[in-house]
Structure 1
């Protein structure tokens, strides 16, 4: 699967899901202000900004080159993973000055780092003990093999829901995907389905953890104390179900018109 195929599915799903989530959150949590003041001065400040230079310009150039390389891996002979490592290497070279550790160290919320590390450790233990593989095998035998005959859309809906549920015994997305991809991919091949279409929701759903703040992004905002876990759970259920529908329908459409190979 190429980065272009990933983007064909992922970008529309992300945009639609983001808009729907924003509308729903505005409906549930009424905005506390009617007018955002200071936008005029912000626009003036933006006009007065100097052109990109120094580390900003270097980062923009490196990242732009990485994006282009992600889209044409076969033509340049460098896969996406090597491109990413090359980008990190270049950004870390002496003289690039892209990260000031002394400045960033004072801004890091170490409690968020610790809870993310604990979640990763838990996922590693589950994976090493074989519990994750055992659970994914049971789920595949109980659900996936039975609903596969109902059509690709139904199968994608079930896979997405399973991934949402699977986040909680294994909150680390990479480990969860590593356990589920072999099972789902093998099932797709056995049923004669496009493995890319079936495996894409597994990868994309690893980032949809919207019921409890054990994801790094969610926990970073939670540590600010502005919202409570019950707020996230009450709205996260609806947003998650909306994402499941959007992702499943769009993936089925893209696969149906042959854009995934």
Structure 2
């Protein structure tokens, strides 16, 4: 039986089984069926039994069909979320940035600093990728710097599975992309989904600036930590100046700044300024600013992208998936499923631990789960409401689990199983084992850092 058929069979078992499982005092029958739908959703996504968008729409339709909600209007509530429109709008940024030579200039400047020192070269690539990923989603950012790295490896005649420089660059680039994405709400869809779940669950919010203040220090720590272990364990071979000549020539050819590039960088910087200003001007929330920025890109005189380019850039399957998770999360909460799952964890004894140990244990569990089952949006939808409830028992702000969980879900350092890392894994330069041995210590550092740093900094800021 193929993996797809297994996924469909499991989904059918979960849905049909939930229909016949009676409710209890702690969880009503509607709650049981909602959790059955959640398990079916995970089964279909993990096995890729159906396209992402089709799976999302099927699960939404099943909510009224099973009588869990009164009608389809209640089932699709998450699709009216501002977070969904933010996700759609920010996919315009990679389109306009990839049409410029700013990335080429950035790499050219870094190569002037690194020279032929291969360890510094890897660090340069990782810093550049991290910087760009703060405003660009992880996949296009990885594609951008993958092209530069492959040009250097080709010039150096670096063979897949033989070159340690190839191993270091191919692991370091996607690791830096996911790390940079932690720094701002615009860097990763996980961040926006987490913020939306927080607002729905508690009515509280985290501003763009507050997120940056909290998460940027984590990024600043994790870049050198990941670089150190990648280059110390894999030890990249030396590289000659001749191998870098091609990149230098590209950077020199891009010396002249075109009018399009000026307009693009003005829009990007303008978005960042307005997002930060939203900390004091409530109407300038992240979604409003993103939609204004998207509109500006199409204005006469700007014309930074066409509608077709924008349509092609937005991963509509991901959009449908995010909307479904937000919708299903509300249904799970309203039917008592979230409270039931929180009760199971509470009764496990985790609440008897110190707040640091309990938070570290929960984050480690989610990190491991996401490593083997990379469906981050679904994991956020399931576990974030539960962790908000549990952390409240320790007197923590709901902002603590919100940012911590989004960061931990994004920071997949162990295996090439998510789309960002699979891009470079497909080039054949490294193995699962290479990534695991370079990522195990940074993964532990990330979890412990979040468990210690988050309550401290959130308490100081009073978020």
1:180 to 383, 402, 427: 383
Match of 2:79 in 1: none
Identify the range of structure 1 (233-242 vs 219-228) with the bigger mean alpha-carbon deviation. Answer: 233-242
Match of 2:134 in 1: none
Identify the range of structure 1 (64-73 vs 22-31) with the bigger mean alpha-carbon deviation. Answer: 64-73
Match of 1:64 in 2: 269
1:204 to 402, 407, 412: 407
CA contact (8 A) 1:4 1:71 kept: yes
Give the drift of 1:243. Answer: 1.4
Q: Deviations over 1:184-232 (max 9, x none)?
A: 1122334432111232211111211223322221011111111112222
Sort the Cα spacing of 1:55 and 1:21 in 2 relative to 1 into closer, same or farther, 3 A. same
- CA distance in 2 between partners of 1:37 and 1:143 (Å): 61
| Corresponding residue SS for 1:75 | coil
Alignment of 1:83 with 2:285, yes or no, is: no
Sort the Cα spacing of 1:64 and 1:235 in 2 relative to 1 into closer, same or farther, 3 A. same
| Corresponding residue SS for 1:227 | coil
Match of 2:456 in 1: 253
CA contact (8 A) 1:17 1:246 kept: no
The gaps in structure 1 that reach 5 residues or longer are: none
Match of 2:177 in 1: none
CA contact (8 A) 2:371 2:414 kept: no
CA contact (8 A) 1:16 1:246 kept: no
Match of 2:222 in 1: 17
Q: Which has the larger radius of gyration?
A: 2
Alignment of 1:155 with 2:362, yes or no, is: no
Q: 1:156-171 maps to which residues of 2 (within 5 A)?
A: 156-168=359-371, 170-171=373-374
Q: 1:238-249 maps to which residues of 2 (within 5 A)?
A: 238-249=441-452
Give the drift of 1:161. Answer: 0.6
CA contact (8 A) 1:160 1:244 kept: yes
Give the drift of 1:148. Answer: 3.9
Sort the Cα spacing of 1:175 and 1:97 in 2 relative to 1 into closer, same or farther, 3 A. same
The gaps in structure 2 that reach 5 residues or longer are: 1-205
| Alignment RMSD | 3.7
CA contact (8 A) 1:157 1:244 kept: yes
CA contact (8 A) 1:212 1:233 kept: yes
Identify the range of structure 1 (44-53 vs 212-221) with the bigger mean alpha-carbon deviation. Answer: 44-53
Sort the Cα spacing of 1:16 and 1:140 in 2 relative to 1 into closer, same or farther, 3 A. farther
Sort the Cα spacing of 1:171 and 1:184 in 2 relative to 1 into closer, same or farther, 3 A. same
CA contact (8 A) 2:275 2:285 kept: yes
Sort the Cα spacing of 1:29 and 1:243 in 2 relative to 1 into closer, same or farther, 3 A. same
Alignment of 1:52 with 2:257, yes or no, is: yes
TM-score (norm 2): 0.45
TM-score (norm 1): 0.74
Match of 1:227 in 2: 430
CA contact (8 A) 2:342 2:386 kept: no
